[in-house]
Amino acid sequence: MSGGPPLPAAVEAQLAGIGRADILVGIPSYNNARTIGHVVRAAAAGLREHFPGAKSIIVNSDGGSTDGTQEIVAGTDQAETEKILVTHPSLPVAKIVTPYHGIPGKGSAFRTIFHIADRLGVRACAVVDSDLRSIQPAWFQLLLGPVMDGRVDYVAPLYWRHKLDGTITNGIVYPLTRALYGRRIRQPIGGDFGFSGDLARTYLSKPVWETDVARFGIDIWMTTTAVAEGFRVGQAFLGAKIHDAKDPGGDLTPMMTQVVGSCFALVGTYADAWPKVRGSDPVPVFGEPQAARAEPIAVNVERMRSIFAQGLEDLGEIWGKILPDALLAGLGAIAAAPPSDFRVPDPLWAEVVYRFALAHHRGILPRDHLLSSLIPLYLGRTASFFLEMWDAEPEEVEARIEGLALAFEGLKPLLQGEWDRPTS
């Protein structure tokens, strides 16, 4: 079996007593006392209802909470949950509450979960966020069922979101990963996943746990690793994910450096895989799509346009090291346009992203500086999208995102042609 971080003696004793298990649900946490009891109860109910004959484990991997999070997990009354939500007879669901070790971040919590899954030899795992207000017991059938019956190795979530939410996913992460790796996983950084025990062991064996992936980029790393290494992937409709939506024009530096930086790093990791991919294919979808109320988001389009225009003045020299003159001229013309004509064409935006990926590969600028300099461009593209789609129906918005993804696929040869070219 694969190696992993050391576990506390009490956890080792629990594992010895459990021996082996069929299913593991991992819940990473940090100061989530307000919500984690609901998540644990939903997980326990889902496991009992949908997998009554399986030996199931819930693992809370906590990052040093000081608000009583772990005490709430340990004290959650699963018998009460069973009485209210479950009518099927089932094996008991065991709980393991453990701190994680390693550099701070969600990935380090996941490493502990993968380690325990490996030790118990489980067939299927799911990880879910600890701050979910919309989680339902049925989620666990959707995330774990396709893995347990051998249809796929990895299940990504598919949420009903507000049409203007998820702009980094819609504008960068989804079209880029789709074009590179050829699989249409619509929300590759959704946060709640199902996967096989074999894939958990693959994750555990990777040398990423002392890197920024372990701090911030674990979601996109899990999805990309599964796709690029040939595991069977699918996605499951989970309804609405209720979370604290943020203004897309707010402080994006952490998100850009964490998620998009991880995407760019993975382009290098799998540089032997993605050039062989042509086009993209859909993946199996589990569950039935259900319209749900998506929480509205606050946006300030004029502020985004202003930051984009200011970036042309302040960052022109930096952008000149990354983008060709013709592209910079096109961006200047866009900035000068009135709001009614302010549009960032899809091919132009796809080229911007690919050029930044190349600059990341070549180390043209320090990583954080490079990714921070992408933010005004991203905000300009997001403002353009909002102005175009403000009154559109959700189906029209989705069709518009499909067009962007096709633009990324069409411009992929640019990335391939430039990837191994020496820096001038």
Same domain assignment for residues 172 and 146: yes
Res. 275 pLDDT band, cuts 50 70 90: very high
Q: Identify the weakest region by mean pLDDT among 31-40, 171-180, 242-251.
A: 242-251
For residues 400-418, average pLDDT: 97
Alpha-carbon distance of 79 to 92, in angstroms, equals: 9
Output 102 or 367, whichever has higher pLDDT. 367
Per-residue pLDDT at 80 exceeds 60: no
Beta strands at 93-99 and 56-62: parallel, antiparallel or unpaired: parallel
In angstroms, the CA 398 to CA 125 distance is: 30
Asked if 334 contacts 343 with a C-beta cutoff of 8 angstroms, the reply is yes
Same structural domain, 315 and 268 = no
If asked whether residues 192 and 89 sit together in one domain, one would say yes
- pLDDT tens digits, residue range 372-394? 999 999 999 999 999 999 888 88
Average pLDDT over residues 313-331: 96
Residues 270 and 316 in one domain: no
Taking the C-alpha atoms of residue 130 and residue 92, their distance in angstroms, rounded to an integer, is 22
Pairing state of beta strands 154-160 and 193-196? Answer: antiparallel
Q: What is the pLDDT of residues 248-265, one digit of tens each?
A: 445 566 777 889 999 999
Residue 314 has pLDDT above 90, yes or no: yes
DSSP symbol at 293: P
In a domain, 294, yes or no: no
Residue 291 lies in a domain: no
Domain boundary among 231, 263, 286: 286
User: CA–CA distance from 263 to each of 169, 222, 271, 353 (Å)?
Assistant: 11, 11, 12, 11
* Residue 173 clears pLDDT 70, i.e. is over it: yes
Q: How many Å apart are CA 184 and CA 84, to the nearest integer?
A: 38
State the total domains in the chain. Answer: 2
Q: What is the pLDDT of residue 2?
A: 52
Q: Is residue 296 part of a domain?
A: no
Same domain for 367 and 239: no
User: Measured at the alpha carbon of residue 402, what is the angle toward residues 401 and 404, in degrees to the nearest 5?
Assistant: 65
Mean pLDDT score of the chain, rounded to an integer?
87
Q: Which pLDDT band, with edges at 50, 70 and 90, does 212 fall under? A: confident
126 assigned to some structural domain: yes
- The 10s digit of each residue's pLDDT in 133-150 is 889 999 999 999 999 999
Give pLDDT, residue 366.
95
Q: Residue 76: which pLDDT band, with cuts at 50, 70 and 90? A: confident
**DSSP string covering 310-343:** HHHHHSHHHHHTTS-HHHHHHHHHHHHS-GGG--
CB 54, CB 47: distance < 8 Å: yes
The Cα 123–Cα 125 span in angstroms is 7
- Per-range mean pLDDT, top range of 77-86, 124-133, 156-165: 124-133
Task: Measure the CA–CA gap between 387 and 299, rounded to whole angstroms.
Answer: 11
> What pLDDT is attached to residue 419?
96
- Structure confidence at residue 321 (pLDDT): 96
What is the structure's pLDDT at 79? Answer: 44
DSSP string computed for 172-203: IIHHHHHHHH-B--S-TT-S-EEEEHHHHHHH
pLDDT at residue 95, rounded to an integer? 82
Q: Both 29 and 111 in a single domain?
A: yes
Based on the fold, state whether residues 346 and 222 are members of the same structural domain. Answer: no
Q: Are residues 245 and 170 in the same domain?
A: yes
Residues 310, 270, single domain; the answer is: no
Looking at the domain assignment, is residue 292 inside a domain?
A: no
Which stretch, 38-47, 90-99, 101-110, 298-307, has highest mean pLDDT? 38-47
Reported as a pLDDT band with limits 50, 70 and 90, residue 3 is: low
Per-residue pLDDT band for 101 (boundaries 50, 70, 90) equals: low
- C-alpha atoms less than 13 angstroms from C-alpha of 202 in its C-beta half-sphere: 18
Q: Are residues 79 and 22 in the same domain?
A: yes
At 74 the pLDDT is: 81
- Please give the single-letter amino acid code of residue 297: I
Flag whether 295 is in a domain.
Answer: no
Evaluate whether residue 250 is within a structural domain. yes
Cβ–Cβ < 8 Å for 220, 173: yes
Q: How far apart are CA 258 and CA 361, in angstroms?
A: 16
Q: Are residues 221 and 344 in the same domain?
A: no
- Torsion sign over Cα 334, 337, 338, 343: negative
Residue 296 has pLDDT above 70, yes or no: no
If asked whether residues 149 and 203 sit together in one domain, one would say yes
Q: Which among 227, 255, 286 is the end of a domain?
A: 286
Q: What is the CATH number of the domain that holds 19?
A: 3.90.550.10
Residue 64 has what pLDDT?
Answer: 79
- For the cut 60, the answer to whether the pLDDT of residue 84 exceeds it is no
Provide the Cα torsion 298, 262, 198, 233; round to 10°: 50
Distances (CA, A) of 206 to 214, 269, 406: 11, 11, 31
Mean pLDDT of 209-223: 84
User: Does a structural domain hold residue 392?
Assistant: yes
pLDDT value, residue 294: 57
Domain with 405 in it? 301-419
Say what the pLDDT of residue 32 is.
Answer: 84
CA atoms within 13 A on the CB side of 33: 11
Q: Let me know: does 97 contact 60? Beta carbons within 8 Å.
A: yes
Q: Report, as an integer, the average pLDDT of 142-169.
A: 91
* Share of residues in the chain with pLDDT > 70 (%): 88
**Confidence bin at 316 (pLDDT 50/70/90):** very high
Least trusted range by pLDDT, from 76-90, 195-209, 265-279, 331-345: 76-90
Q: Mind giving me the DSSP string for 225-273?
A: HHHHTT--EEEEEEEE-------TTS--HHHIIIIIHHHHHHHHHTTTT
pLDDT of residue 256: 78
Q: What span, in angstroms and rounded, lies between the C-alpha atoms of 419 and 406?
A: 20
| Residue 304: pLDDT band with limits 50, 70, 90 | very high
Checking if the pLDDT of 41 tops 80, the result is: yes
